[in-house]
Structures are given as C-alpha cells and as structure tokens.
Amino acid sequence: MVVAGCPWCHVATTEDPRVEGESGLWSGDELDLDAYLARIGWQAGRGGELAPDLATLRGLHRAHVRAVPFENLDVALGKPVPLDLKSLQDKLVGRRRGGYCYEQNSLFAAVLERIGFTVAARGARNRSRGATLPPVTHALLVVTVDGEQWLCDVGFGWQGPLEPVPLRDGVRVDQSGWTFGIKAEGEGILVLRSLRPQGWTDLYAFAPQTLYPGDFTVMNHYSSSHPHSRFLGQVVAQRPGEEARRALVRETLSVVRPDGTAEERVVGTGVLIATLQSEFGIELDEEERAGLERMHPTGV
C-alpha cells in the first residue's frame, strides 16, 4: 500500500490494517503528512520509507516529542481548544505551537492512521501528583505492531516517554538514560511508571477501554474550562528531552537530568516570552505575548 501524496511512504502490503468500521477515525486522510514530517524534522535518510512497523513508530514518536512542546497557553488565555484536524495542523504544524495531550495525541493518531498503523485511544488517571485521586483526564494512544501493543504518548509533558513502551507487565525500558516501566493492577488496569533515584514513581493508570475522538472532546472541555482544572489561570510549558527535561509552571522553570540533579529559577514577566521561545521553541504572536505578560504572576 502506498500512501497517496507522500514521497516517504511505502507499505509492503495490500491490506489495510485499520479496524473495520474505524477507517479515517482520526481523519488521517485529511493530514498534510509532508508538512508534519517537516515540522518534526523527519529526515528521509534515517532508514528510508515510512511503514507501519516498530522502527517507524519509534522514530516518529521521538522526533515528535523533541520538536513539539507541551503547553496550555490557549487555555491560559481563555481561548477555545478545537480538536478537529484542520485546527490541529494549523496550530501545531503551521504556527509551530505546542499543545496538551488531546491536541498532540489526536494529531499523532492521525499521522499513524495515515501511515497504516492500528491505533486506539485510552483515558488515564494522573498519579504523578501524589495521593490525590483526580478524574480520568489524560489521553494516550495504544498502537498495535505485529500483534504487540505499545503505549504511545507524545502529550504527557516533561515526564512522558521519548519512545513507545511495550504494554507488558513488568517491562522495563531505558530511553536515553530515562527508565520507564509497566505495572499491571486489578480490573485490567495498567500503570506507566518512571524510575527515579528514589525508586519507581507512578505516572498514570489506564483501563483497557477504547476511547474515541468524541471522548477526547468531553475530556478537553473539562480540562480547558472547569474551575478545578489545573490548566486554568497559569502558564504551563514542558518538554521531555534526552539530556534534560524542562517544565515552566507559573513563574518557576525546573530542569531535571537523568541522574536526578535538578535546578529551578524564577521566570519574571520581562523574560517570559524569551523563555518560552528559547527553552520550549514556542512561537507567539503579539496579542498572545501581551496576554501572557498581563496574567503572569511576577513582575521580577
């Protein structure tokens, strides 16, 4: 199968691997794949053709998280967060902005669907904030390759994986010095974990139930507008990295390295826009810059 209009893609099969009845679920046929590949810096020489195989999945996942930052700036500014593919392409690809989980994983699902992967969505409960019991608001993907399921998540921010993680109980994978694992619990729950100097830390837990774009819309409405949402009223920008992971939450910029060393500094209003650009690669227009400066909590 050759992906129409994409010079990178050749799939050596005549069968469509997508689940019957779900063809085009993520609007992959509407995707400008060439523009997306340019956005993430995909190089033709990295192995040749795109195909629904593990090498392609790993390469795309790592390239995406390296290029597209996690950020909530539209929510912070009180703007709507549409999840249709045209809007996602315009924002994350055309305007070189970032987004949070619903935006990033919806776009990534469209990319994978276009190439021919079997993609399903899941909803997760965030456990990275300690003993609190938050609602299920995180969105991730499960991709099946050669009969094996892989957790794919380009939208969990600075704590997320760089590459897919195999969904097997007890698995442990090293990704450029960052270690992730999967733990199975009762009722079919799977937990993504991260190994820190102090031991394993749960990141989030998810059930095997398949979610659909409409479910993302409902979850997105809560996260972008509910008064209890942690994304309202503050700037959040994050980026996982190989040598360091960075997070700006309100006025605090944190940098963590694989060996556990960390540093923090205050980002004042005067350097906020420059920090978003230099640390996260976020490009903003004049109205967005002014709006964020007005709401930033420190005048340092």
Contacts of 249 (CB under 8 A, 6+ apart): 234, 235, 236
Which residue is catalytic, options 64, 138, 152, 296?
A: 138
Dihedral pair phi/psi, residue 246, rounded to 5°: -125, 140
Which residue is catalytic, options 101, 174, 259, 285?
A: 101
Which residue is catalytic, options 153, 174, 215, 259?
A: 153
Angle, nearest 10°, between helix axes 286-295 and 269-280? 120
Altogether, the residues listed in the chain come to a count of 300
Nearest Cα to 205, choosing from 102, 104, 103, 123?
123
Contact in structure between 213 and 207 (CB atoms under 8 Å): no
Alpha-carbon distances of 100 from 183, 200, 239, rounded to whole Å? 25, 25, 11
Write the burial class of residue 261 (CB in 10 Å: 0-12 exposed, 13-18 middle, 19+ buried): exposed
**Catalytic residue at 152?**
no
Catalytic residue annotation: 101, 138, 153
